[in-house]
Structure 1
Amino acid sequence: MNKLLINTPQNVKFEYNLATLGARILAFGIDQLIIISYMLLMLFLLLYSGVFNLSDSWTTFGLYSLFSLPALFYPLILETFLSGQTLGKKLMHLKVVKIDGTRATAYQYFIRWVCSIIDVFLCFGAIGLSSIILSKKGQRIGDLAAETTVISTKVNTTLNHTLFAEITTERSLTYPQVIKLSDFDANAIKDIFDKGYKRKDYNIILALATRIEELLGVKREKSPEEFIDTVIKDHYALFRDK
């Protein structure tokens, strides 16, 4: 799976898994199924209400078009209000982000939506598929125009192994001040850190590192990510035999 490596201004490194082509196609298929289901439901409700029997063909067409507008704007509305996800993307654990890994703006979602005319509806999606395959960052035309890409939000199952490796081995304490932390504090720190890492939100990690500095009365000399990792390892090493 292709990677998108980001080094944030706070010097926290994140590694994103770019969405696979198969996952993006499945997400698109789910979204299209939702849209078609909605449009069929609207058609059924209008038929059941008898509106079509009371109107001429143009009025009927206008009413159906009006009720179908949410389906037209479905990708734009959901990506804007669900932070880069439609229902299909959410089910497939995908998300639209900026190239720097941060949350995309409403304008960028709009650009992607407008460009779907080229990506999806011209040549039966061949242009969009070709662009995703040929682009180093898995970008369709809309992504290139909006400076976005689609990533996988699945948490790497080896997260604990990569971040907290060798936690059970003998090691000297970097921060003896961890004695001030209770087991509850240490677990809370790890939970918050995992949440920030999962969301790829370095602001959470930076705020957590700053709070730990205040609690322990220390000054970190590492990146926020490495500092928190060291504190958790120190706490475990100090209390594991107690």
Structure 2
Amino acid sequence: MSKIGIETTQNVQLNFPLASVGERIAACMLDALFIGVCAFFTAMMVGLLGEAFAIGFVFLVPMLFYTLLFETFMNGQTPGKRIMKIKVCKIDGDAPGFIHYLIRWMFRLVDISLTNGVAAILTIVIGEKGQRIGDILAKTTVVKTNHSMKLTNTILSEVPDNYQLVFPESRKIEDKDLELFKRVIQQLKTMNDPVEKLTFGLKARTKVMEKLGIKTEMQPEQFFQSLIDDYNFIHKNV
């Protein structure tokens, strides 16, 4: 399985499995099917009501911006991508913004429409980061989503009322840091090589310790879980 190492804004590199060409094609075909169904019902309504311009504007224009709208409002996913469990992300680890989705949408004309998808397939296969032309320009790629670990198991952890704060420096933690902590824990759980696991964990721990001003010899997985618990305790009592 191809993976991409994404350097986050906290300077911690995480590995994400890239979506395969087959998965991306399947997602595209599912989206085409949904668009086709919408177009069919729009045509039926035009035939029944005869209000071609009004109905066409209400239904056909949104279909033209189908990918752009869904990726913007569904966090990098269209219905087809959600079914295939893949999503758009930036190669620097940040969440894409509207401008990134817009660039990808604009270059669908070259990647998919004008070349029947050949340009997209070639650039994805040849490149190392699973990017079509639109992705390269938007600095994005498409990765698999992992639903094996629920968010509530990490970020939204329950802490007892008598919980003792482990690191007072946890007050410096920002909301955006929590997703990083969750991903580090998740990646540690999936690593089988003990040396690779320890090296990655210590490197990630060192980066975060430097940012928060913490000094500890706590094991990496326990360290990141403690930061998450501290954050929940602090905000529970705000």
Q: TM-score, normalised by structure 1?
A: 0.63
Equivalent residue, structure 2, for 1:142? 134
Equivalent residue, structure 2, for 1:8? 8
Equivalent residue, structure 2, for 1:116? 108
User: Aligned letter for 2:24?
Assistant: R
Determine if contact 1:12/1:223 at 8 Å carries over to the other structure.
no
5+ residue gaps, structure 1, are 52-59, 158-180, 186-199, 210-217, 232-242
Greater shift, 5-14 or 35-44, is seen at 5-14
For 1:73 and 1:115, locate their aligned partners in 2 and report how far apart those are by CA, in whole Å. 13
Q: Percent identity?
A: 36
Residue in structure 2 matching 1:202, options 146, 166, 180: 180
Equivalent residue, structure 2, for 1:97? 89
Equivalent residue, structure 2, for 1:70? 62
Provide the aligned length of Structure 1 versus Structure 2.
179
Higher Cα radius of gyration: 1
Q: CA 1:19 to 1:222, structure 2 compared with 1: closer, same or farther past 3 Å?
A: farther
Determine if contact 1:11/1:223 at 8 Å carries over to the other structure.
no
Structure 1 residues 19-38: aligned runs within 5 Å: 19-38=19-38
For 1:111 and 1:47, locate their aligned partners in 2 and report how far apart those are by CA, in whole Å. 35
Equivalent residue, structure 1, for 2:154? none
Equivalent residue, structure 2, for 1:228? 224
For 1:148 and 1:10, locate their aligned partners in 2 and report how far apart those are by CA, in whole Å. 18
TM-superposition CA deviations, 1:190-236 (whole Å, max 9, x none): xxxxxxxxxx9216679xx9xxxxxxxx95456965613699xxxxx
CA-CA distance at 1:13 after TM superposition: 4.1
User: Aligned letter for 1:91?
Assistant: I
For 2:108 and 2:86, locate their aligned partners in 1 and report how far apart those are by CA, in whole Å. 17
5+ residue gaps, structure 2, are 150-158, 164-177, 185-204, 206-213, 228-238
CA-CA distance at 1:116 after TM superposition: 0.2
CA-CA distance at 1:11 after TM superposition: 5.2
CA RMSD of aligned residues (A): 3.6
Determine if contact 1:143/1:149 at 8 Å carries over to the other structure.
yes
3-state DSSP class of the match of 2:116?
A: helix
Equivalent residue, structure 2, for 1:189? none
Determine if contact 1:10/1:223 at 8 Å carries over to the other structure.
no
